[in-house]
Amino acid sequence: MPKKICQIICLFITLLLFHNMTCFALEKTTVSVVFSSDMEAYHQAWEGFNEFFKKNGVNLSVSTYNLANDDPETVILRIKKEKPPIVFALGTRALKLLKMRVGEIPIIVCMVINQDEINGANITGVTLSIPTMIKLQWINENLPQTKRIGLIYSIETAELVAKISQDCKKSGYEVVAQKINSGEEITWALQKIASRIDCFLMVPDARIYFPKSIEYLLMEGLKRKFAVIGLSSFYTKAGAFVSFDCDYQDIGRQTAAMAMKILNGQSPTDIPSESPRKTTFSLNLLVAEKIGIKIPPVVIKEAKEVFGR
């Protein structure tokens, strides 16, 4: 008789455990997602974010907003009404809006270039900026003749350029930097520095770079034979020698891991913002040939995208 009771108790405990597990799997977590625009990269990051939660058995109940179509005021009102445990911002526009208007809800952000934007007691996330050291290491390994790196910047990117310069100096490179006020001044700035540089590192500065100034830079790079390091594979395709990229889906997963910590009770202030953990690079072989750089086949194989074959 006691054996039977024991069996029943065991069965009851097993059932109870199973019930708890299924309850956890079916647990719904509410997240408000705000897209800055309809960019494909934002959707890729969102896919990664979703995938991470699904893999961890958390069902997301999502309210999605897109600032390309939705009125920012309505978005804020609805988020404040819903009061989700976390708000996920994709891009600078969404972050700026939430930072200004939502102070009480933790904000997790990704796809933002400027790390300084991710500041505030309730904000953390993953930036889009690839650490300069990764780029410098690649230059060191694949462009050993490089001694001087050129940079053109405006007041918007002065701080970023100061950080890059420090990293360059640490890695033993001389920095030739030129400050300008607008993209129209890129001609004289390049003329001033072009003869003194071995490669040119682009910084994400919308004041300087627009289609025509980029075209000018890439053309000058070919003419004066210096390697241009672009901002993403779009630039490599257009004529930069090499560009570094992030895996947007992985950025989404990385951000989701941070979001999970917040949902488990950690404060966003205790979670420092991170750089993307997965980086890739793209090469333009035609440009390499024109500027006289020989790339070993191993490096070509490593590249995620190769243009001008």
Partner 1 sequence: MRINITHKIIFLFILLISTLSIIIGFFSFNYGKQALMIEFDDRAKALVKGLALNCEYPVLFDNKDMLSSIGANVLSLKDVIFCEIRNEKGQVLFKKGIKNKPYNHEYTSVIQTEKVNDVEEGLVLGNGQIRKFEKIGRI
The token pair at 19 is: 């019930």
Kindly state the smallest distance separating residue 186's Cβ from partner 1, in Å.
Answer: 8
Contact with partner 1 (CB under 8 A) among 41, 58, 152, 303: 41
Contact with partner 1 (CB under 8 A) among 211, 265, 272, 292: 211
Stretch 91-110: interaction string toward partner 1, x if CB under 8 A? xxx-----------------
| Contact predicate 66/35, CB 8 Å | yes
| Contact predicate 62/69, CB 8 Å | no
The token pair at 52 is: 């991470």
Kindly state the smallest distance separating residue 98's Cβ from partner 1, in Å.
Answer: 15
Kindly state the smallest distance separating residue 183's Cβ from partner 1, in Å.
Answer: 8
| Concatenated DSSP letters of 176-235 | EEEE-SSGGGHHHHHHHHGGG-SEEE----TTT--HHHHHHHHHHHHHHT-EEEESSHHH
Kindly state the smallest distance separating residue 284's Cβ from partner 1, in Å.
Answer: 15
Stretch 224-253: interaction string toward partner 1, x if CB under 8 A? -------xx-x-------------------
**Stretch 130-159 residues interacting with partner 1 (CB under 8 A):** none
Q: Is 171 left (phi over 0), alpha (psi -120 to 50) or beta?
A: alpha
Contact with partner 1 (CB under 8 A) among 10, 15, 25, 206: 206
Contact with partner 1 (CB under 8 A) among 29, 63, 131, 216: 216
Kindly state the smallest distance separating residue 82's Cβ from partner 1, in Å.
Answer: 26
Instruction: Provide the pairing of β-strand 174-179 with 148-153.
Output: parallel
Contact with partner 1 (CB under 8 A) among 79, 102, 168, 186: 186
Kindly state the smallest distance separating residue 218's Cβ from partner 1, in Å.
Answer: 13
Kindly state the smallest distance separating residue 208's Cβ from partner 1, in Å.
Answer: 9
Stretch that binds partner 1, among 136-144, 168-176, 179-187, 249-257 (CB under 8 A): 179-187
Contact with partner 1 (CB under 8 A) among 32, 65, 132, 205: 205
Distance separating alpha carbons of residues 165 and 9, to the nearest angstrom: 68
Stretch that binds partner 1, among 15-23, 131-139, 198-206, 301-309 (CB under 8 A): 198-206
Q: How far is CA 114 from CA 102, 193, 251, in A?
A: 20, 26, 15
Contact with partner 1 (CB under 8 A) among 39, 134, 194, 306: 39
Distance separating alpha carbons of residues 209 and 156, to the nearest angstrom: 12
Give yes or no for residue 88 binding partner 1 (CB under 8 A): no
Spatial CA neighbour of 217 closest among 205, 204, 227, 207: 227
Spatial CA neighbour of 195 closest among 169, 223, 167, 173: 223
Give yes or no for residue 280 binding partner 1 (CB under 8 A): no
In sequence order, which residues have a C-beta less than 8 Å from that of residue 300 and are 6 or more positions away? 283, 285, 306
Spatial CA neighbour of 227 closest among 291, 282, 153: 291
Distance separating alpha carbons of residues 180 and 196, to the nearest angstrom: 17
- Could you list the residues that contact partner 1 (CB under 8 A)? 36-41, 68, 91-93, 111-114, 128, 183-184, 186-187, 204-206, 209-213, 215-216, 231-232, 234
